[in-house]
């Protein structure tokens, strides 16, 4: 293979357990034959207490260069795995949090501990949102469409843009789990994965809408139009109805949120400024975030405050965000979940 100029060759051995002496002996033979540059110990975090024995048994037979911990999306939070890894004296390089490729991520100590403590993972969330920071145009459009929604001006065009943006950031369930406080909520059944599946379907339905329908949502409240959309998108009529119902609930929730925030005033572009500020901050703050000690200069609380302050204060809504706080936001998120979002997540 080296002759064919392959730069990276991965030799994957069969899974082995401490008890299986022959497999361990075989692994030593393989190691001697291929002389690897690095031996990676991949540990399934769901094996619980036996992780320690497994790690020790490995270390006794080969020299472990690095560790990958998988299945951190299950019930196991990885506490046991971490102590096992300590026995190997090798660094953790990657973690697996799902079956898809995007669920394979670089290991970050601060994020990991934060998740272990059920406190969400802000630096992970910021990483996920990072692609937006490098696309100011997209960000501006998102902020503008979000403002229209907060003012109660719902359109499928805006909604489609937002859904597409969300989907482009990665798995929705992972993003939600990264938000402090949401982690527990999301764990209850992990239905956000279903929601993101629906969202893909919704974008296909919205792709079948005419320009007029995208701009005027009321045109879609029509049985004939909905039938046409189902045919055009190759989905069930039920799916179209689900999109209409959920988007209506979401539109109401956004409008309510806009009123609560005092962001309904004319010419309010505080949201946009705040988002830009937040992303600007992120760009500069990012390098520090992955480092030891965690979050570097980025403080989500401050970012949220900047965002919220921007909305009421400078925006012209006038009333400001004085009374708005995280717990209210959470309350609202819960309301959203139990109303529109709830049904969105339960349906397939």
Q: CA-to-CA distance for 337 and 182, rounded, in angstroms? A: 11
How many chain residues interact with ligand GTP (CB under 6 A)? 9
Q: CA-to-CA distance for 261 and 27, rounded, in angstroms? A: 61
Residue choice 1, 3, 7, 15 for contact with ligand GTP (CB under 6 A): 15
Q: How far is the CB of 116 from ligand GTP (least distance, A)?
A: 16
Residue nearest to ligand GTP (CB): 15
Q: How far is the CB of 74 from ligand GTP (least distance, A)?
A: 6
DSSP state of 48: T
Residue choice 78, 98, 310, 312 for contact with ligand GTP (CB under 6 A): 98
Q: How far is the CB of 197 from ligand GTP (least distance, A)?
A: 16
Q: How far is the CB of 99 from ligand GTP (least distance, A)?
A: 4
Q: Which is nearer to ligand GTP, 160 or 174 (CB)?
A: 174
Residues facing residue 66 across a β-bridge: 40
Q: Interface with ligand GTP by CB under 6 A: which range of 91-99, 115-123, 176-184, 188-196? A: 91-99
Q: At what angle do helices 270-289 and 136-150 cross, to 10 degrees?
A: 130
What is the pattern of x (binds ligand GTP, CB under 6 A) and - over residues 38-77?
--------------------------------xx-x----
Residue 37: CB atoms within 10 Å: 8
Q: Interface with ligand GTP by CB under 6 A: which range of 97-105, 127-135, 178-186, 246-254? A: 97-105
Q: How far is the CB of 176 from ligand GTP (least distance, A)?
A: 17
Q: CA-to-CA distance for 232 and 226, rounded, in angstroms? A: 10
Residue 96 as a binder of ligand GTP (CB under 6 A): the answer is: yes
* H-run or E-run covering 292: none
Q: Which H, E and C letters describe 262-278, residue by residue?
A: CCCCCCCCHHHHHHHHH
Q: CA-to-CA distance for 206 and 240, rounded, in angstroms? A: 9
DSSP state of 234: T
Q: How far is the CB of 136 from ligand GTP (least distance, A)?
A: 34
Q: Which is nearer to ligand GTP, 88 or 97 (CB)?
A: 97
Q: Which is nearer to ligand GTP, 70 or 247 (CB)?
A: 70
CB 32 within 8 A of CB 26: no
Residue choice 39, 54, 88, 97 for contact with ligand GTP (CB under 6 A): 97
Residue choice 3, 14, 37, 211 for contact with ligand GTP (CB under 6 A): 14
Q: How far is the CB of 198 from ligand GTP (least distance, A)?
A: 21
Residue 283, token pair as written in the block: 């760009």
Q: How far is the CB of 97 from ligand GTP (least distance, A)?
A: 6
| 3-state SS class at 94 | strand
Question: Torsions phi, psi of 275, nearest 5?
Answer: -65, -40
Q: Is 236 exposed, middle or buried (0-12, 13-18, 19+ CB in 10 A)?
A: exposed
Q: How far is the CB of 11 from ligand GTP (least distance, A)?
A: 12
List the 92-96 sheet strands across, edge first: 40-44, 66-70, 92-96, 104-106
Q: CA-to-CA distance for 312 and 262, rounded, in angstroms? A: 6
Residue choice 21, 28, 89, 99 for contact with ligand GTP (CB under 6 A): 99
* H-run or E-run covering 230: helix 223-233
Residue 171 as a binder of ligand GTP (CB under 6 A): the answer is: no
Q: Which is nearer to ligand GTP, 62 or 332 (CB)?
A: 62
Distances (CA, A) of 178 to 127, 163, 220, 245: 10, 18, 34, 27
Within residues 137-166, the interface with ligand GTP by CB under 6 A covers: none
Binding site for ligand GTP (CB under 6 A): 14-15, 70-71, 73, 96-99
């Amino acid at each position: 293979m080296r002759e064919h100029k392959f730069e990276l060759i991965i030799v994957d051995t069969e899974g082995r357990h401490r008890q299986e002496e022959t497999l361990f002996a075989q692994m030593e033979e393989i190691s001697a034959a291929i002389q690897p540059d690095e031996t990676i110990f991949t540990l399934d975090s769901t094996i619980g207490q036996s992780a320690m024995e497994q790690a020790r048994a490995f270390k006794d037979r080969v020299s472990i260069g690095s560790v990958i911990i998988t299945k951190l999306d299950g019930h196991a939070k990885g506490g046991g795995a971490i102590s096992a890894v300590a026995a190997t004296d090798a660094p953790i390089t990657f973690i697996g949090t799902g079956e898809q490729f995007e669920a394979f991520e670089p290991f970050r100590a601060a994020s990991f501990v934060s998740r272990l403590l059920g406190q969400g993972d802000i630096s992970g969330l910021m990483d996920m949102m990072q692609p937006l920071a490098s696309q100011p145009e997209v960000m501006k459009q998102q902020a503008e469409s979000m403002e229209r929604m907060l003012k109660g001006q719902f359109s499928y065009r805006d909604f489609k843009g937002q859904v597409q943006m969300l989907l482009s950031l990665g798995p929705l369930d992972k993003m939600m789990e990264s938000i402090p406080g949401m982690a527990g909520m999301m764990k209850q059944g992990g239905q956000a994965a279903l929601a993101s599946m629906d969202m893909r379907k919704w974008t296909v339905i919205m792709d079948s809408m005419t320009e007029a329908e995208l701009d005027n949502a009321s045109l879609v409240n029509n049985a004939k139009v909905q039938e046409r959309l189902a045919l055009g998108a190759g989905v069930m009529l039920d799916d179209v109805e689900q999109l209409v119902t959920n988007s209506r609930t979401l539109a109401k929730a956004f409008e309510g949120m806009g009123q609560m925030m005092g962001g309904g005033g004319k010419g309010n572009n505080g949201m946009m400024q705040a988002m830009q500020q937040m992303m600007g901050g992120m760009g500069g703050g990012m390098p520090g975030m992955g480092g030891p000690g965690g979050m570097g200069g980025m403080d989500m609380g401050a970012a949220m405050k900047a965002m919220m302050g921007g909305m009421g204060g400078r925006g012209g809504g006038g009333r400001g965000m004085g009374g708005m706080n995280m717990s209210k936001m959470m309350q609202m998120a819960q309301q959203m979940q139990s109303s529109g979002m709830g049904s969105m997540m339960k349906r397939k």
